Amino acid sequence: MTASDSDTKQQATAPSNFIRNMINQDLESGKHGGRVHTRFPPEPNGYLHIGHAKSICLNFSLAQEYQGQCNLRFDDTNPAKESQEFVDSIKDNIRWLGFSWSGEVRYSSSYFDALYDFAVQLINSGKAYVCSLSAEQAREFRGTLTEPGKNSPDRDRTIAENLDLFARMKAGEFPDGAYSLRAKIDMASPNINMRDPVLYRIRHIHHHQTGDKWCIYPTYDYTHCISDAIEGITHSLCTLEFEDHRPLYDWILHNLELSSLRAVSDLADSQYDYVLPEQTEFAKLKLNYTVVGKRTLREMVEEGIVDGWDDPRMPTLAGMRRRGFTPASIRNFCESVGVARAESVVDLGMLEHAIRDDLDKHAPRAMCVLNPLKVTLTTFAEDHLEELTMSNHPKEESLGERTVPLTREIVIDRSDFEEVPPPGFKRLTAGGEVRLRGAYVIRCDEVIKDASGEVTELLCSVDLDTLGKKPEGRKVKGVIHWVSASQGVAAQVRLYDRLFSVEKPEGKDVDYRECLNPDSLQLLENCVVEPAVLKSASSNFQFEREGYFCFDAVDSTAERPVFNRTITLRDSWSGN
RNA sequence: UGGGGUGUCGCCAAGUGGUAAGGCACAAGGUUUUGAUCCUUGCAUGCGUUGGUUCGAAUCCAGCCACCCCAGCCA
């Protein structure tokens, strides 16, 4: 199948979901002039994780699928929590995932001037007022879930007065919290977001993009809808908790002059009809055995429960990347999970399947012995050195071949030998035969043990007539991997497993610290990997019969490579 | 107890009045020089629940139940 065939097939089988259905309808009705323009709008206040990946894939893939555009916009309206470091890592993560945003990176902060003008417009039309209530007072006036709120005493300030006060807020005449700009909507609304929400607050604080130009900052609710409108976004996708904000999103946009919105928008000079963006909500991605809460992740880093934001056990994009997850596997996973409005918890197994599926197709095979047991092939002379040619992949010929040196002394994994094998054991036993992967069938003639009775070495004879052919007159079922003792390279291997041993480490009344899986990291210091691995162009491998591994980009050195286990192979042998 | 949402197989998820897609997981076979991959087969007389409308309901209507979100000058 060619690339384009598979693309076509993927499109044909792209699962139906309520957002695609909505877009299809919009396209049919011509609502946005046939345009599809989405955006991914993170606040640069932390590292991206698997949950963000779903949103990224959704927004960017939809744009691709409909030949539309997808912007990257930093929603940077609260400088107290944000930094350039996060801006940079987010951009890096999105590129790594394989997506390109439309045009330049956008910042809500670059619309601050326009946002200010629109606020003045709302004041002029009597839709906004400057309020002197403190945060605490405002809370009291807001009412409760079941009781209506009370109007602010400043609600009927004159337009002239509001204009003057707002200008002075901007000019820096007042301290933080002295005043706020509020929309004049309805203090009795059953939707608390509509009870005269704050549009601007005073914050004398440096902003990572705008420096010290501003001391008043617009709120999310006020900024997001206008930013969408300015960028000509058609479909503004966000998560479920913003559902109650949608009426406010619409209120703000509908109470501004459409022509003035259009005038400052990216569509100002286009031939398209100017249509306001619409918000649509979908359920967040949740994974069992996983925590994505910002506070929790930070604590785990700060308390040393993990080794940093890019610890391979972390659900961050940086962590998954270091773990060896491929961008395609994460994209496929997000696609397979679907998009719906029902809150759900996806099984980690689905993510693992996506990783295996991608790596199985693309990762070159190699051999690495994790827990070495010395085997001497007595049939060979001391200086025996045979260069065996092995293909890098059982099906994908384009991955090429490599040579694997075979010598008299090799190592195999300790778990591949049992003196008294359990029922069904297919590996090497005392007196039994086994195939060395890609090489000969050997027979274990002698088991050497130390004083404590531990097996230290196996003496085996080689059936020279079994290279590339089946042995005559008998069946040898088992195949085990091996590495030349002298030609192999010493390596450290890190075996990673899920961080938590319970399904819902973030649940109510659950302390995640008590749910940690004590075996989430196992360090193996004496591993031996075949030499070809170090010369490979790939950084992801399948170490045959062990799992998928990748070079650890941070801790590997020239003399001592470090490998991270990305994921084990499926293992249907219950005796293991 | 106000408002907004959601309930389809163990886990995701299609379905939009015509008789329950698909994936993961699981199980059983087959192929295999990876106990991998791959292939075949099985896996909801049932769609939160109770009624109603209809020739016919997961889909329409009503009631009930469960769970989630909202009272930041966070996003």
At how many degrees (to 10) do helices A84-97 and A50-65 cross?
Answer: 60
| β A409-413/A482-484 pair status | antiparallel
Q: How far apart are CA A21 and CA A81, in angstroms?
A: 37
- Asked whether residue A532's C-beta has any atom of DNA/RNA strand B within 7 A, the reply is no
> What's the mean pLDDT in A462-473?
95
Helix (H, G, I), strand (E, B) or coil at A545: coil
Closest nucleotide to A176 by C1' from CA: B73
Closest nucleotide to A572 by C1' from CA: B35
For strand B, which residues in window 107-136 of chain A come within 7 Å by CB?
131, 133-135
- Asked whether residue A389's C-beta has any atom of DNA/RNA strand B within 7 A, the reply is no
pLDDT digits (tens, 9 = 90+) for A521-537: 999 999 999 999 999 99
- Asked whether residue A195's C-beta has any atom of DNA/RNA strand B within 7 A, the reply is no
Please give the share of chain A, as a percent, with pLDDT higher than 90.
95
Give me the CA A54–C1' B11 separation in Å, rounded.
17
Give me the CA A51–C1' B12 separation in Å, rounded.
15
Amino acid identity, residue A359?
L
Q: How many CA atoms lie within 13 A of A417 on its CB side?
A: 30
Closest nucleotide to A357 by C1' from CA: B37
Residue with nearest Cα to nucleotide B14 C1': A16
* Interface confidence (ipTM) of the complex: 0.97
Q: Residue A120 above 60 pLDDT?
A: yes
Q: Residue A5 above 60 pLDDT?
A: no
For strand B, which residues in window 349-388 of chain A come within 7 Å by CB?
349-350, 352-353, 356-357, 360, 365
Write the CA distances from A303 to A149, A295, A297, A309, A367, integer angstroms. 43, 12, 10, 12, 36
Residue with nearest Cα to nucleotide B69 C1': A241
Q: Residue A8 above 50 pLDDT?
A: no
User: What positions of strand B are covered by protein, i.e. any atom < 7 Å from a CB?
Assistant: 1-8, 10-16, 21-27, 33-38, 67-75
Q: Residue A4 above 50 pLDDT?
A: no
pLDDT digits (tens, 9 = 90+) for A190-228: 999 999 999 999 999 999 999 999 999 999 999 999 999
- Asked whether residue A305's C-beta has any atom of DNA/RNA strand B within 7 A, the reply is no
Q: Which pLDDT score, from 0 to 100, does residue A277 have?
A: 98
Q: Which pLDDT score, from 0 to 100, does residue A3 have?
A: 34
pLDDT digits (tens, 9 = 90+) for A314-347: 999 999 999 999 999 999 999 999 999 999 999 9
Q: How far apart are CA A494 and CA A522, in angstroms?
A: 6
Mean pLDDT score across all residues of chain A? 96
Q: Which pLDDT score, from 0 to 100, does residue A507 have?
A: 83
- Asked whether residue A262's C-beta has any atom of DNA/RNA strand B within 7 A, the reply is no
Which DSSP state fits A460? Answer: E
pTM tops 0.90: yes
Reported as a pLDDT band with limits 50, 70 and 90, residue A10 is very low
